[in-house]
Amino acid sequence: MGKDSRLSTIQQSLLQWLAEPVDSAGLHVFRFAFGVVAVIGAARFLTYDWVERLFARPVFHFRYLGFDWLPIPDADQIRVLFVVLLVLGLLIAFGLLLRITMAIYFLVFSYIELIDVTTYLNHYYLVSMLSLWMFFLPIGRGGPKRVGRWCYVVLQLQVTCVYTYAAIAKATPDWLLHGQPMEIWLASRTSVPFVGQAIRLFGLSTLAMIASWLGFLHDLAVAPFLAWKKSRAIAYVVLLGFHLGTHLLFNIGMFPIIMSVAATVFFDPAWPRRWQARWRAWRGTAVDGDAANGTARPARSLLPGRAVGAFLIALGAFQVFWPLRGFAYGGNILWHERGMRFSWRVMCREKNGSVEYRVLRPGTERAIRISPGRYLTGYQEREMATRPDMILQLAHQIGRDYAEGDAMPEVYVDAVASLNGRRAAPLIDPDVDLMTIRDEIIGDGSWILDAPAGAPADLR
Amino acid sequence: MTRFPYGLVLISSLACGGSDAMVEEDALRQQAVRDFVDVTLTTSVGEARTALLGLQTAAQAYAEAPTADTRSATQEAWRQAIAAWQVIEAMAAGPLGAPDGVVGGQPGGQDLRDAVYSWPATNACSIDRITVADTHADVDALAEANVNVRGLDALEYILFDDDLENDCSRRNPVNADGIWEAERANLEARRARYSATIATLLVREFDAVDTALESYSTTIRDTPNEFFPSAQEGLNSISDALFYIDNTVRDVKSARIAGVAEDAGPEGRESLYANVSISHIRANVVGFQRAFNGMEGGVGFADLLEDVGATDLTTRMNQAIDTFLAEADATGLRPVEDVLAEDANGLTTFHDNLRAITTLFKSEFLSVLDLEEPDGVPVDND
């Protein structure tokens, strides 16, 4: 058999496997849960006054490269958008007008996330991606009872990417050899149930190492073990325990719930019907039998069309390869932060910094100092102080503010950061005029100084 | 530094009703919160109260006999009082801070700070209007006035503004209607009486601070409590207050006198009339130092750092503080103009040494103790 022929056979087998009809019940439950999470998420934003604090209070917004054309709505408009998200969440939960509601949900949610880089969170990005995937899935009310296997596979791929790249992000000497930043986090959370007792039992350093390795191994192995039928149940129990632990330890809001819901896409597609049948049997009511036995359709017809299929493949490839871009920059990603976002580097560092700009106006010899607090809220300043791209972006804004006609000032920065409790070290070259640096993505990034060598903080 | 007997802390905290779930590490952090309130803040407030009582006595003598001597004695008493207060400014946590829910607010905050010292909100023209209207004799009535006419900052203006001119615009009735000129002969006596009323009111305000601190101390004795779900949140609240050294002392006070701020002119400076800006900043850093190291054997942040093994950071922070204090002392704590007259860049090193403290504080210190920056939005994290 020739190489082309073998490839063709593999391709055919793969397509057949992806087109294989499976029960859509699992996806309907997932869709319902996603809708509920969407409602809760929007309600939290509205009730906790985060709109005011995150979007209305700032006078300066950090923009994503290429998206700075997006208009910045005022607080009332953003509140309306969150109300829209809440209503859409309800519609999604009940599967009404699903295609259009998913499209609007994806656009509105992503738009809000693109307003200010400060608000970036991995799980918000995940919500955007899940809503985009779900746009293509035939899982609305009245949809087919059997769908192509690919409908599950795309979501499984997404969840696998999250966990796998979260594990890769933890595969660092700090995390695996020094138990940092876990040690720092545990030391400040002794009031969390069992943490203090566990520290007494194992010692802080040992417990930090245990927790670090458990976290790493969980992220690395949970997706394959969820995919394997024999280990699925225990893997999901472990996953629930893991996310319960992260919920208790860290302020990560909806993330544990989203991941616990998302992981159900690995379940046997018919799992809701089985549970329903058990429930009915327990209640003594009649069982319908396999309600998913609809009219059999030719397998290939369950695959998406060519254009949609190509888009889904491209989206899947993007999810697989885009998080790897950080490695192309070299150095310590946790320090220079290039390629940090949209890469599922979830909760993997403790970093704080201090920033002060120096502005040398045209025709003057003495620099004035500008504190970021003049432009930013406390929350924005905290996020910005350790992220070179945001430091650069604010430098450009300061430069524009102090320009005199066409004459731009020189803008320097004294930025110092501490990574995982290390000695504070300069983050940005204080002798580089940041007005000469276009952006953080392109270029050698030599204006960002190397990460400090040596081990992180060694706490007792 | 004397090593704190952590074991005794644990035993005493458990004996005092600490819950069974509280373990050693949390007990130390809880003790740090308690000691900050019960020892560091309370002791500092007590010192300021003693100084205020001296100020009240001096101001009453000045009001009864407004002479150069009584004025000078009141000015000196004010210097003592403001020096004690500036120590507290740098750690105005708990009831002294802004209420929870407003920018920079914190649980248990009652905004008591502004009633004692409202700079930079001080309104000289309003003070002049009250002076000339002779409506400052009644302590109760003055207590109802805006905070920017009845605190230590208002008192500074009244005691140190030498020229007996007012700070109002020409169109203000005080000038437009000739009221100021008509009362010029009475102004000194009125200012003296006004200063006595303020001093009396300040002592009363400090009684309120004492009461509020006592209540706050009882509330935060154990965690979880009404204000904090954990000792860590209590520590966060204190570190929020300590950020005063960064966002006000460094960014505003020091940057302005060092001439590195855009608005570095004399108008925006603190202590325009008494000319003790450098002393104020020095006292602020002393307040930060007290909170960092703890007082009278109480647990401070330095003890927490040592407990987790970050002794080196403790040493470097104390070195940075000592270096700054030595630099401040080297200026002779003279008026800013005098220092800058000798060397236009004479306060740049002063500012940079202050920045060395805030840099360590905002980077390593926050990281090692896993503390949050103030005004953080309690949004999700990942």
What is the token pair recorded at A266? Answer: 């690995």
Give the torsion through C-alpha atoms of A116, A122, A128, A130, to 10 deg: 180
Distance between A255 CA and the closest CA of chain B, angstroms: 8
Chain A, residues 373-412, CB within 8 A of chain B, namely 373-374, 377-379, 381-382, 385
A284-296 mean pLDDT: 57
What is the token pair recorded at A370? Answer: 């500008």
For B105, counting Cβ atoms within 10 Å of its Cβ (0-12 exposed, 13-18 middle, 19+ buried), the class is middle
Q: Which of A121, A192, A354 sits opposite B382 (nearest CB)?
A: A121
pLDDT for B24 equals 60
B328-356 mean pLDDT: 93
A254-266 mean pLDDT: 95
What residues pair up with A369 in beta bridges, in sequence order?
A358
What is the token pair recorded at A260? Answer: 């616990």
- Containing A311, the helix (H) or strand (E) segment is helix A306-321
CB contact under 8 A, A191 and B26: yes
What pLDDT band is residue B308 in, cutting at 50, 70 and 90?
confident
Chain A, residues 108-147, CB within 8 A of chain B, namely 119, 121-123
What pLDDT band is residue B22 in, cutting at 50, 70 and 90?
very low
ipTM of the complex: 0.86
CA–CA separation, A379 vs A366, rounded Å? 30
The tens digit of pLDDT for each residue in B322-341 reads: 999 999 999 999 999 999 99
Task: Identify which has the larger pLDDT, A104 or B137.
Answer: A104
B359 touches chain A (CB under 8 A): yes
C-alpha atoms less than 13 angstroms from C-alpha of B150 in its C-beta half-sphere: 26
What is the token pair recorded at B324? Answer: 């700054």
The tens digit of pLDDT for each residue in B159-178 reads: 999 888 999 999 999 999 99
A196 touches chain B (CB under 8 A): yes
CA–CA separation, B345 vs B348, rounded Å? 5
For residue B243, give the nearest of B51, B126, B94, B89 by alpha carbon.
B89
In terms of CA atoms, which chain B residue is nearest residue A345?
Answer: B382
CB contact under 8 A, A255 and B380: yes
Question: Which residues from B are below 8 Å from A384, CB to CB?
Answer: none
Q: How many CB atoms within 10 Å of residue B370? A: 21
pLDDT for B160 equals 96
Residue with tokens 């996953």: A239
The tens digit of pLDDT for each residue in A65-122 reads: 999 999 999 999 999 999 999 999 999 999 999 999 999 999 999 999 999 999 999 9
pLDDT over 70 (residue B10): no
A188 touches chain B (CB under 8 A): yes
Chain A, residues 340-359, CB within 8 A of chain B, namely 346-347, 350-354, 356
CB contact under 8 A, A347 and B260: no
